[in-house]
Amino acid sequence: MKNAYHVLNKVFGYQDFRHQQADIIQALLNNEDAMVLMPTGGGKSLCYQIPAIIREGVGIVVSPLIALMQDQVDALTQLGLSAGYLNSNQTQESQREIEQQLINNEIDLLYITPERLLSNRMQSLLKQSSISLFAIDEAHCVSQWGHDFRKEYQQLNTLHQQFPGIPRIALTATADKRTRQEIIEQLDLHKAKTYLDSFDRPNIHYQISEQNSKAELLKFIQNSHQNEAGIIYCLSRKKVEEIANWLTEQGLQALPYHAGLHQQMREANQKRFLREDGIIIVATIAFGMGIDKPDVRFVAHLNLPKSIEAYYQETGRAGRDGLPADAWMAYGLKDLMMLKQMIQESDNEMQQRISHSKLDSLMALCETTSCRREHLLNYFDEATKSSCGNCDICISPPETWDATEACRKALSCIYRTEQRFGVGYLTDILLGKSNERILQNGHDKVTTYGIGKDISLNEWKSIYRQLIAMGYININFEQYGALTLTDKARPLLRGEVELKLRKQTKKAAKKSETKAKSALREIDEQLFEALRQCRYDLSKLESVPPYVIFHDKTLIEMSRKRPSTLEQMGHIAGIGEKKRDKFGKQFLDIIKQHKIHPWFKNDLSETINKTLELYLKEQNTGAVAEQRQLNLSTIYSHLSTAIKHDVIRLEDILEIEHGDITQIKHAMDLCAEGGQEGAKAVFEFLNGEIEYGIINCVRASVDTLI
């Protein structure tokens, strides 16, 4: 493990391991198998990369997508490591070169698809090579119960038989209890230790709305993510094209991605997304697995995904750098009906049952009136506190209403029309519309005709959607989407039970103040943009995505700490020795051009820095309090914190007189002798003649000296 910490620090530029990384690495170094569940952005790749570097031989990484292998290899190459990949996009000459490096033990890591790995040629090559470990990424693909099944993954159990004694690690960010068990069974990992980290992604703000419109999407992007990278998921190729074109017309950089596009265009659009800032990809679910882009600031769904696993995995592509990000979804009754129809068309009865169960769980998440994060994590068998404070429901709790009578009307209308019609027709009857079809069928004479005029059309759609989601109504797709009653509807129709529903929301929930705040201080914005431009220029020269040079998180820390030497640069998280020596000087030159007062090279909060900035200008606490519209005591609290962290000195606060300092220190000594050391004791000893805030500043100064 001493070697592991050395590699972590010198190669990857981090001081400490996160989560259970150290234990997992230790297991592989001990020649043990491991099953790892860790959230997207949690650092799964380090769990196999570091042991592959330390152990003798080549680490074989099984990955399902060839499109991203080059970027993964480029990122490792920039760190000074030797890595390669084998896939069908390479020339035969390139493949032969990598194969020779594999046999000669000249590379640390080799990325390969399961299909190629299982080929006779590859098996023969591996048997001629020294293998350090096998890493099976996206391991949930092995499970038929999972949402992304690939049959080739189930054949990977042969690795254990063909290469006994070589440790294997299976990794996934998305697997419920049943899927985890299937991974263990299918890959023969019965002796492997399982490492389960939390599924929680606290930096992601979850927001789900039943308002599905392009205008809402545009408002969301313009208000919260202007000029930022994002992914928008749609169910159909047609909608992908429509939304991408429309967003482009609105002045955004939006590109389509789906299986129907020419391969060259797909690859070009993906490359632009990975290598340029502020690009939005509009895609079907064909896009995304293995995306390593850390600065995706939002993932939006314009249609329902098929399951909570799919939703969790797709939203997990946002905020991989740990900085604030949004998961925004808008859906409607049409989405629910479309997915149910797709399930119904399956010939596999077991798959139908699995898909129905997963869709029901997803709809429960959408329609819940309690914390989204709690609901999401409970699905993965993880207990949580009741309120996360970073989802739409926690921030703006939805209203519920006694919908018993309205639901009875909705169900009765289905019954009175012999369970032969869809939502649109039923709502027309409830609203008392006299169109030709209703008159022809004689449904203007049924008892439910016109009894719903007190409720709007959208509210009736919401009622029907929730009743379908809660299992009171089925959809008969063989009869053009006619709604039929389930056995569960009988007690409700008879008035034996009451039912509360969500009220139709009229606007999206507001973000929390915490979520809306950027991790970047205002005072550092100009430098940050200059560093981003420098990074972009270097990425063009190196032909790699900008984040392969440095992550945004690294640039933010660089902007805040403003190192002046290469040694100081090496202490910034994410800067290993190779990158420091290769790129450090260019970034130091940029920093030197953006001088800043020494006070602001700190790790204090944005609000304290705003106080320091104003105080530097005004030299008066009262003026700062007035401008910031805060109490004077709060301003002194900010200043005392800055003193305690050795950012400013006591003498920098001009209002604090030397005589007061002497009195306070004397009072502190006397109070301490009497066993009372708090500010309150000093305040009372001085008969309240000196403010609490000033006392705290002096105490902070004394603590700093100690």
| Amino acid in position 110 | L
**Angstrom distance (rounded) from CA 440 to CA 291:** 55
* Distance separating alpha carbons of residues 463 and 492, to the nearest angstrom: 14
Half-sphere exposure of 100 (CA within 13 A, CB side): 6
> How far apart are alpha carbons 330 and 353 in whole angstroms?
25
> In Å, how far are 123, 139, 159, 420 from 170, measured between CA atoms?
19, 6, 12, 50
In this model, does residue 492 exceed pLDDT 60?
yes
Band (539; pLDDT cuts 50, 70, 90): very high
Residue 292 above 80 pLDDT?
Answer: no
User: Average pLDDT for residues 80-109, to the nearest whole number?
Assistant: 92
- pLDDT of 300 reads 96
Both tokens of residue 73? 């290899």
pLDDT tier at 512, thresholds 50, 70, 90: very low
3-class DSSP state of 226: coil
**Residue 514 pLDDT exceeds 50:** no
Task: Tell me which residue has tokens 């925004």.
Answer: 328
CB–CB of 269/281 below 8 Å?
yes
pLDDT of residue 678: 83
Residue in this structure with the two tokens 């949004």, named with its chain if needed: 326
Distance of alpha carbon 621 from alpha carbon 654, whole angstroms: 9
Domain ranges within the chain, ordered by starting residue: 2-196, 204-395, 400-502, 518-596, 606-705
pLDDT per residue as tens digits for the range 419-476:
999 999 999 999 999 899 999 999 999 999 999 999 999 899 889 988 988 889 988 8
- What would the pLDDT profile of 629-650 be if each residue is shown by its tens digit? 999 999 999 999 999 999 999 9
Give 208's strand partners: 329
User: 204-395: CATH homologous superfamily?
Assistant: P-loop containing nucleotide triphosphate hydrolases (3.40.50.300)
- What 605-608 contacts at long range (C-beta under 8 Å, 24+ apart), as own/partner pairs, is 606/517, 606/521, 606/522, 607/638, 608/638, 608/641, 608/642
Buried-exposed string 478-487: b where 16+ CB fall within 10 A, e elsewhere: eeebbbebee
Mean pLDDT of the chain: 89
Mean pLDDT of 24-39: 95
- For 166-171, what is the mean pLDDT? 96
- Range with lowest mean pLDDT among 62-71, 74-83, 601-610: 62-71
DSSP state of 37: E
The Cα–Cα gap between 136 and 132 comes to 13
SS3 307: coil
The three-state secondary structure class of 35 is: strand
Determine the pLDDT at residue 313.
86
Residues 544-582: tens digit of each pLDDT: 999 999 999 999 999 999 999 999 999 999 999 999 999
| All residues at 6 or more sequence positions from 570 whose CB lies less than 8 Å from its CB, including other chains | 13, 577, 580, 584
How far CA 296 is from CA of 204, 233, 285, 557, 617, in Å, comes to: 11, 14, 16, 18, 37
Looking at per-residue pLDDT, the higher value among 41 and 218 belongs to 218
Architecture of domain 518-596: Orthogonal Bundle (1.10)
* 10 Cβ contact list (under 8 Å, min separation 6): 576, 577
Q: Which CATH superfamily is domain 2-196 in?
A: P-loop containing nucleotide triphosphate hydrolases (3.40.50.300)
The reply to whether 2-196 and 204-395 are identical in fold is: yes
Q: Evaluate if residue 262 carries a pLDDT over 60.
A: yes
Of all residues in the chain, the percent with pLDDT exceeding 70 is: 95
Closest CA to 293 of 311, 278, 312: 278
pTM as predicted: 0.82
Which CA distances in Å does 385 have to 38, 312, 372?
Answer: 20, 19, 12
pLDDT at residue number 517: 43
More confident site: 524 or 356 = 524
- CATH topology assigned to domain 400-502: Arc Repressor Mutant, subunit A (1.10.10)
Least confident of 249-253, 357-361, 446-450, 633-637: 357-361
> What is the pLDDT at residue 518?
62
**Could you give the 3-state DSSP secondary structure of residue 238?**
helix
Give percent of the chain above pLDDT 90. 62
Amino acid code (one letter) for 35: M
According to the model, what pLDDT value does residue 407 have? Answer: 95
User: What pLDDT is attached to residue 146?
Assistant: 60
Describe the strand order of the beta sheet including 83-86 as a list of residue ranges.
83-86, 109-112, 58-62, 131-136, 168-172, 34-37, 193-196
**Residue matched to tokens 């949580």:** 384
